[in-house]
Structure 1
Amino acid sequence: QKADKEELTEYTSKLLKNWDSLSAKTYCDVPAIDIILAEKYNMATANHIRTDFLVGGIKEANLDNVYLCSIFSNLLNNALEASKYCTTNPYIELKSSIQLGNLVITCRNSMPQVIRKKDDPNHNHGYGLHIIKDLSNLLSGNFVYEHDEHNFTAIVTIPINDKEEVHK
């Protein structure tokens, strides 16, 4: 959660070992990202949250998978946290694609009518958006979000790399 590359690599390795138990469903052509998406999809469906993932452009973007795993994980953790407290029509929509030389990741989710305080505000809560912003900046990208009383939308835009260059 603190964007430590070594910790993220270890986390991704653990998930890779448990791939079969997470899901046979795939979302994109990058196994590390698929594992994150499968885990979050399973969590959403267990909480009766309507979930729609349409993920493309990941492999073509040629970006560091550890950073992308952290971005996807934090986006979806935030979406799960908000949506699980919605009493009507909880949902998460996640989309990504290459647009005008950028990988664009959009996550939209429902918001609860009543904003609630975190059960344990001192336990690493509230860092997700900062991590996404920091990683977006590290990858020379941009992160914006907006919300109203019913919906939250986060958009990450990251320039894609040439095949020889990968952000490390």
Structure 2
Amino acid sequence: MKKENLLFLVIPVSQILILLGNITGKRSLNFWGYGGIVLSVAADLLLLYVLIWSSRREKLRKELQELSYLQETERMQNEMLEAKQKELLDMRSDFEKRLEEIREKLKRGEEEAACLEMDAFQVSLDETRPADYCQNAVVNAILSEKEKEFQKLGIKTKLALMIPRGLKLDPLHLCSLFSNLIDNALEALAEIPQERRELELNAEMKGAYLFVKARNASEKSHAVRKRRKGRGYGTQILQELAKTYEGNYQAGYEKGWYTAVVMVKAV
């Protein structure tokens, strides 16, 4: 039982002590005395019901939060997979078209033009290889996907990630951690002029804990804005993740910059 709930036991205990005092003191109880005892017992039963109901409601609230978190994580994972699948299909179609062009040029004896086309094709292949931001494949996949949004919004990025492969974090949770940190930053950056759009992302291991810090330019009005419908769940998810992995989440705004730090036990 929670400590605050124990305080409510003072009421029935005090009533029992008063009753015992009257009995041991050989004081007789009249009609009103017995009536008071009955009402006290009824009040105690009502209090017990309220405590049990409150406890069940709190448990249900936490279960709903966990369900919402899992649904949000699954949604983000599905979106990433769908985007990656579409990208691969587009790449395959483009590569098949270019290979056919090279074959046609070779058939026509245009060897020099075919060689130039093959060189350009090799450059395209090199560009499609995922960038290595760190040793962790999950984080690399997320940042490769988010890099397109950075370029689209003209965001200057500074990334310093020292994340090993063998983390004892659920891949979905690791995906959720970085996705929500970055998405929160992107939402704030989209609201300011392009020349001010800067994002710093740092991550490193300290003992058994993974520390991830996101720092982005932001308007104060965005930093203090209350949660809106369909928005604002990223912070709540990060808080729940930190709690799940015996860590901590802190965030704050200062002089045009918003900083969020997540610490989770990862090994």
Settle same-fold status: TM greater than 0.5: yes
- List structure 1 runs of 4+ shifted beyond 3 angstroms: 5-23, 113-118
Residue 161 of structure 2 is aligned to residue 95 of structure 1: no
Give, as a single letter, the amino acid of the residue that structure 2 aligns with 1:89. R
- Counterpart-to-counterpart distance in 2, 1:138 and 1:111: 29
The residue number in structure 2 matching 1:107 is 214
- Counterpart-to-counterpart distance in 1, 2:185 and 2:237: 15
Give, as a single letter, the amino acid of the residue that structure 2 aligns with 1:47. L
The residue number in structure 2 matching 1:154 is 260
Q: Among all aligned residue pairs of Structure 1 and Structure 2, give the percentage whose two residues are the same amino acid.
A: 24
Give, as a single letter, the amino acid of the residue that structure 1 aligns with 2:69. A
Task: Say what the alpha-carbon RMSD is for the aligned residues.
Answer: 3.0
Q: How far 1:116 sits from its partner (Å)?
A: 9.3
- Counterpart-to-counterpart distance in 2, 1:34 and 1:158: 19
- Counterpart-to-counterpart distance in 1, 2:155 and 2:201: 13
Report if the CA contact (8 A) 2:201-2:213 is conserved.
yes
Give, as a single letter, the amino acid of the residue that structure 1 aligns with 2:131. K
The residue number in structure 2 matching 1:67 is 173
Counting matched residue pairs gives: 159
- Counterpart-to-counterpart distance in 1, 2:211 and 2:200: 14
The residue number in structure 2 matching 1:30 is 136
Three-state SS of the structure 1 residue aligned to 2:192 is coil
Give 1 or 2: higher helix fraction.
Answer: 2
Three-state SS of the structure 2 residue aligned to 1:92 is strand
TM-aligned CA distance change 1:101 to 1:115, over 3 Å: closer
The residue number in structure 2 matching 1:50 is 156
Give, as a single letter, the amino acid of the residue that structure 2 aligns with 1:3. Y
TM-aligned CA distance change 1:23 to 1:114, over 3 Å: farther
Give 1 or 2: higher strand fraction.
Answer: 1
Report if the CA contact (8 A) 2:162-2:204 is conserved.
yes
The residue number in structure 2 matching 1:140 is 246
TM-aligned CA distance change 1:130 to 1:155, over 3 Å: same
Name whichever of 100-109 and 16-25 sits farther off: 16-25
Q: How far 1:44 sits from its partner (Å)?
A: 1.5
TM-score, normalised on structure 2?
Answer: 0.52
Q: How far 1:28 sits from its partner (Å)?
A: 2.1
TM-score, normalised on structure 1?
Answer: 0.79
Q: Which has the higher contact order (CA 8 A, sep 6+)?
A: 1
Structure with max Cα Rg? 2
Report if the CA contact (8 A) 1:144-1:154 is conserved.
yes
